[in-house]
Amino acid sequence: MNFTTKIAALAALAVMAGCTDLKPLQAQVDDLKSQVGKLSSDGAANKAAADASSKSAAAAAAAASQSAAAAQNTANQALAAAKAAQSGVDALNEKIDRMFKRSVSK
């Protein structure tokens, strides 16, 4: 196709487009704009909800970490008390053994 034929085809297309009723197309464009606006607001609401959930999860993780640290501290205290009690039992057993050996050796 030469340049003149292309221009003629383009002009014919423009004339045909000009004859077309644009009101239905404009209505579809308006409908699409409203759908895009709704999707944008839905997306913003979903992002806000996700951000709130993320903050809530971070707060719960921090609380769980503090609880775990408190539990570890309590476990350490219990271990120290158990070791002290075991030392007392060991000392008592040793004393009983010495007393038994004395009574046997007499």
pLDDT tier at 29 (50, 70, 90 boundaries)? confident
Tens of pLDDT, residues 4-25: 676 767 666 666 665 556 677 7
| Region for 68 from its dihedrals, namely left if φ exceeds 0, alpha if ψ lies in -120 to 50, beta otherwise | alpha
Tens of pLDDT, residues 33-88: 888 888 889 999 999 999 999 999 999 999 999 999 999 999 999 999 999 999 99
The answer for residues whose C-beta is within 8 angstroms of residue 1's C-beta and 6 or more apart is 9
Give pTM, 2 decimals. 0.49
Domain boundaries, the chain: 28-105
Dihedral of CA atoms 7, 13, 15, 20 in degrees, nearest 10, equals: -170
Average pLDDT on 24-31 reads 83
